[in-house]
Chains A and B, each alone.
Chain A
Amino acid sequence: MAAESESADDDSFESSNPTPIGVKLGSTRTVLRYLENADSDELTTVRTLTCLALYEDAITGEEKALFGEQAAAEYPDRVQYMLRSGLPEDDERAALAGRFFRELLSANGVPSDSTVVYAIPTMDNDAGLENLTEVIESSNIGAHTMRAYPESLCGAIPAMGDGVEAVDDVFISVNMGSTNLEACAYRRGDQLVPFSTGSVTGNDVDRRIVANVEEETQGRVHVDLTTAREYKEEHGNVGNFEPFSDVIQQPGGGSHEFTIEDSVVDALDWYLDAAVNEVANEFLPELANDYMKVYQLSLNNDVAVTGGMACIPGLAEEFERRLCEELDRDVNVVVPDEPDLAAAEGARRIAEKLAGQ
């Protein structure tokens, strides 16, 4: 395609539109969504752990970097999750995040002539946002246009339809992330009463699983947070959980097999109660207080639930059931097909509009 567009005598309209890209730089995972080329409908999804490990090349002595799953698997001792709190908190983490993002883009050959929309969590943290902006601006994508939109809006877009219908709607979006629970009402694109709490998160579930496993095995097994997250992602299921077994090596030789029956389910149960409480008793009263009519309209509409926690089978359905019970009224929850990719996909759809304008 590049060769064709360079042919001076070719008077056909070669596609010079920038590639629309949706990006979510998440605390646990980073997701990129874009069309590989303008002529195909094939979407490219890059989904990787947001982590980086630096190591020294044994021959040249040069510092090298590994990112994502490979870094986590090969260098578990020195891998760094630099967006653990959602945003890069200091210069060091910002530099690491910048390196991670550049490595990721170069490894996947993401086009630089692009229109990029970033889905960013709504956090009251100017220093962190400043650092994230530096990370974004130090990358070579988004040469054409760059925008940032709230993650809860981007995530809701694929949940509410095949296009960008959500922008023309009045609805509530709940984003269940690793580092925060975000809820927000949107009225035809206007963000109303953005609410965010760091006290009900996917990371809290992981921490509870660690404590529960220790208790369930009577202190014989201590798992780290990464293992707890894997238990949650691989075995977590609300309403249809099946006990599973794992094996650890004992100090001094031998192995110990143990079965997990309640640890994951109890942690998810806590999460659901806490999330319903935050939405029903913190966010919704605030919304009703400021925008009574939007409150009523949006509860009659679908409530979009997105984020990594919404990937757990049965969780969104149970959230709906408990929210109905707490509010004593019917509420309909909708979840996008791929809740963990939804924010990047929504961002991509906005980027597509921006690129085509």
Chain B
Amino acid sequence: MLRPSDYDPKELRALTGAAAPTHADEEPDRWTEPDDFLGRADARVRAAQVEDAFLLQAAAGGASRPYLPSLPDSVVGTQLVLDWLRYLVGVGGRERAREALAFYRDVEWLDESVEDALAAYLEAFDDTEGSRLSVGHHRTSLLFVARLAALR
């Protein structure tokens, strides 16, 4: 069957002499851009994401503290955890990320066991200079918490 979405991008690139997507086109930095640098258009997008996440959470039976009593046991969940930690380390460096996780446990976003597991993951990331985490960054973290809770 001639399905347009099944075309072969490699063949197309070979035919047209186009370069393959480079590492720079990939998405490793997708969560590391601080909210402060985002324009209103991007903030609107982020607001839609937050809304989505809370809808998902509502669908999962509402929110009770700690919001994230355990980590989801799935590939998607693990990927999301790594995205989140990459974001925190990218913005604030490893030490501030660790402090943020402790803070999230204090305000009962995370269970203690989750904090421990996440802190262990942090060791895998290269440390960065980073800067202080702001309210906007914590808001994004809450978005990750909500998504992870919805995936459980």
* Assembly CA distance A120 to B6 (angstroms): 11
Structural contact, A148 and B2, CB atoms closer than 8 A: yes
How many whole Å from A180's CB to the nearest CB in chain B?
Answer: 13
* Assembly CA distance A130 to B1 (angstroms): 6
- The reply on B25 being an interface residue by CB < 8 A is yes
* Assembly CA distance A16 to B125 (angstroms): 58
Beta-carbon contacts of A276-306 to B below 8 Å, as 1s and 0s? Answer: 0000010011001101111111010000000
Find A327's partner among B12, B31, B41 (CB 8 Å cutoff): B41
* Tally of chain A residues near chain B (CB < 8 A): 48
Structural contact, B39 and A122, CB atoms closer than 8 A: no
- The reply on A319 being an interface residue by CB < 8 A is no
Beta-carbon contacts of A72-110 to B below 8 Å, as 1s and 0s? Answer: 000000000000000000000000000000000000000
Question: Do A122 and B9 contact each other (CB < 8 Å), given the known contacts A289-B49, A292-B30?
Answer: no
Question: Do A328 and B7 contact each other (CB < 8 Å), given the known contacts A285-B45, A292-B27, A353-B15?
Answer: no
Across the interface, name the chain A residue whose C-beta is closest to B21. Answer: A188
* Assembly CA distance A168 to B15 (angstroms): 11
Size range of the chain B interface in the assembly: 20 to 34
* Assembly CA distance A132 to B3 (angstroms): 10
Structural contact, B25 and A187, CB atoms closer than 8 A: yes
Query: Chain A residues in contact with chain B, CB under 8 A?
Result: 118-122, 126, 129-130, 132-133, 136, 146-151, 163-164, 167-168, 170, 187-191, 194, 281, 284-285, 288-289, 291-297, 299, 327-329, 350, 353-354, 357
List 11 interface pairs A-B (beta carbons < 8 Å), by A numbering.
A149-B7, A149-B12, A150-B5, A164-B18, A168-B19, A189-B12, A191-B5, A194-B5, A289-B49, A291-B27, A293-B29
